[in-house]
Amino acid sequence: MESRIDRIKKQLHGASYKLTPQREATVRVLLENEEDHLSAEDVYLLVKEKAPEIGLATVYRTLELLTELKIVDKINFGDGVSRYDLRQEGAAHFHHHLVCIECGAVDEIQEDLLEDVEAVVEKRWNFQIKDHRLTFHGICWRCTEKHAEEKNKENVNNPNNNEDF
Amino acid sequence: MESRIDRIKKQLHGASYKLTPQREATVRVLLENEEDHLSAEDVYLLVKEKAPEIGLATVYRTLELLTELKIVDKINFGDGVSRYDLRQEGAAHFHHHLVCIECGAVDEIQEDLLEDVEAVVEKRWNFQIKDHRLTFHGICWRCTEKHAEEKNKENVNNPNNNEDF
DNA sequence: TGTTTAATGATAATTAATATCAAATGATAA
DNA sequence: TTATCATTTGATATTAATTATCATTAAACA
């Protein structure tokens, strides 16, 4: 974790920015919540817990800066807020997302999976791909399991209700 | 075109909505600008040319309705506005986009291309895919050509400047 | 230490989108 | 046809996310 911060510090310096205490606090929040997909407001509230004097504008500015430097990616799942997602260190491309339309959970796919598709697009459409956004909308494994359980319970109550026949 | 409107009318009726003059004017604008990726404001201005009495709220409401019925897809390219894109008739999934980071052009890919990837995701992540969003960011063929031309011109002016050696 | 530049915090301004509500429209049944 | 009811609309107010402004503070520097 500390080394990760150090490397981010170096990236900032490389672009002649400083890792101020406010920026560091923001980066730490992102690192501590790597699984989540926080909005600027979310980040602000979490940073405020550790550094109450920080302003919302600074959080926005920091997130914008980190996005420029490709340390985080800004993504929008269609709910009207931008969310910020740490990029895997050394990842050439942004990872993919699974958004559950029932429970709203967002899971990540770190595997590339798009190599073949990108080769086709580069050649057939003569398009030089620099980055991508891929999101699947559907039903997550947790909701699928829950449905199965509910069906089980139903069948215990009504043993004749067997949809298989 | 007329038949396309008729089919949309039937889709609306099927969900017990009417194709009011305002809704029809909005749909016509979308059909006449199928290549573009209009924002709600864009649609509003175009509809206003034909039906000046229409209100912005009605346009928003119509676009929301068409999105619900999967006649259009709402998409966000990260510039802070939602854009609305007619779905191909009978298309199971939303088509893909190529966004040029130089000139801002947005091109469409109607081919699916994701069949294999989706099969993997459904199985490995146990996720039931209902829809997707795939956007590539990079340099379009027009900008690539333009660069090549500029390089040519440069070499004519400085015949010794041959970067190949 | 004084000076210049970068960064911050508070807050105003902007803007996309939604909510509200009275009026208009359209369908329905007496 | 006319009274009635639900749907839709247009104008406008409201909300909420993001950006802009600007005086103040912190940091780098010479």
Q: Which structure tokens are listed for A79?
A: 């709910």
Chain A hits for B138, CB-CB cut-off 8 Å, are 127-131
> Straight-line distance from CA B87 to C1' D4, in Å?
40
For residue B141, give the amino acid letter. Answer: W
Question: With an 8 Å Cβ cutoff, is B127 touching chain A?
Answer: yes
Helix or strand or coil: residue B112? coil
pLDDT band of A161, cuts 50, 70, 90: very low
What is the mean predicted confidence (pLDDT) over A79-104? 92
Crossing angle of helices B56-68 and B40-50, in 10° steps, is 120
What's the CA gap between B99 and B143, in Å, rounded? 12
SS3 A71: coil
Q: Which of the following CATH numbers is that of domain A91-160: 3.30.1490.190, 3.90.1300.10, 3.40.50.800, 3.90.950.20?
A: 3.30.1490.190
pLDDT, residue A157, reads 63
Hey, are the CB atoms on B121 and A98 less than 8 Å from each other?
Answer: yes
User: Residue B144 and residue A126: Cβ atoms within 8 Å?
Assistant: yes
d(CA B20, CA B95): 28
Using a 7 Å CB cutoff, list residues 3-32 of A near strand C.
17-18, 20, 22-23
Residues making up the binding site of A for Zn(2+): 100, 103, 140, 143
Give the chain A residue whose CA is nearest to the CA of B105: A127
Hey, what amino acid is at A100? Answer: C
Average pLDDT over residues A41-46: 98
pTM metric for this prediction: 0.89
Query: Residue A55: what residue type?
Result: G
So what's the pLDDT on residue B159? Answer: 55
pLDDT at A72 (0 to 100): 96
CA–CA gap between residue A68 and residue A64 (Å, rounded): 6
Instruction: In whole angstroms, give the CA distance from residue A111 to residue B121.
Output: 10
Strand D contact with B55 (CB < 7 A): yes
Q: If pLDDT is split at 50, 70 and 90, which confidence band does A151 have? A: confident
Per-residue pLDDT 10s for chain B (165 aa) are 778 999 999 999 999 999 999 999 999 999 999 999 999 999 999 999 999 999 999 999 999 999 999 999 999 999 999 999 999 988 878 999 999 999 999 999 999 999 999 999 999 999 999 999 999 999 999 999 999 888 787 666 665 544 443
CA–CA gap between residue A104 and residue A98 (Å, rounded): 10
Among the partner residues B82, B98, B114, nearest to A117 by beta-carbon distance: B114
Confidence (pLDDT) at A92: 78
Confidence check: pLDDT of A42 > 60: yes
Q: Please state which of the ranges A58-72, A92-106, A126-140 shows the lowest mean pLDDT.
A: A92-106
What is the full DSSP assignment across B51-109?
A: -TT--HHHHHHHHHHHHHTTSEEEEE-SSSSEEEEEPPTT-SSPPEEEEETTT--EEEE
Which long-range CB contacts under 8 A does A47-54 form with residues at least 24 apart?
A: A47/A22, A50/A25, A51/A21, A51/A22, A51/A25, A54/A22, A54/A25, A54/A26
pLDDT tens-digit series, residues A6-16:
999 999 999 99
B56 strand D contact, CB < 7 Å = yes
The letter for the amino acid at B14 is G
| Domain covering B1-89, topology | Arc Repressor Mutant, subunit A (1.10.10)
Instruction: Give me A98's structure tokens.
Output: 């699974």
- 3-class secondary-structure state, position A126: coil
Q: Helix (H, G, I), strand (E, B), or coil: what is residue A134? A: strand
**Predicted local distance difference test score (pLDDT) of residue A159:** 55
A136 — pLDDT class (breaks 50, 70, 90) = very high
Mean pLDDT across chain A? 92
Query: What is the predicted pLDDT for the residue at B37?
Result: 97
Which of the 103-132 residues on chain B come under 7 Å of nucleic strand D at their beta carbon? none
Domain with CATH 3.30.1490.190 in chain A: 91-160
From-to residues of CATH 1.10.10.10 in chain B: 1-89
Which H helix or E strand runs over A73? Answer: strand A72-76
∠ CA B132-B138-B141 to the nearest 5 degrees? Answer: 110
Among residues of chain A, what percentage have pLDDT more than 90? Answer: 84
